[in-house]
Amino acid sequence: MTRTLIHDPDIILFDEPTTGLDIISSNVFRQLVLQLKQQGNTIIFSSHIMEEVTLLCDSVAMMHKVELIYKRKLESLYIEEKSRDLNYIFMSKLVRRNQSRVS
């Protein structure tokens, strides 16, 4: 992570950054991301940890099998789906997508 940040980039990309980290290290990472956001950095990260997405993200892009199934502001997604449970929303979108393909 240090190598990523040493040059103070405007856009930062993290791929599953908290996988394998203990709870303290994960919390330190989350605080760092929030600090970077406040400084105006753009942070792109992939995660299967929906609680992390909820805490850290303003916008989301959901993908399944290399296909983009949603890309918008997180609040818009919550309103559209009438839920704040990203696990439920993701699975629901997949089910509806599969049903529309069968029809």
At 103 the pLDDT is: 58
pTM: 0.74
Assign 82 a pLDDT band (cuts: 50, 70, 90): very high
Q: How far apart are CA 60 and CA 72, in angstroms?
A: 6
* Fold of the domain built from segment(s) 1-57: Rossmann fold (3.40.50)
User: Domain ranges in the chain?
Assistant: 1-57, 59-103
pLDDT of residue 3 exceeding 70, the answer is no
Q: Which amino acid is at 88?
A: Y
* pLDDT of 98: 73
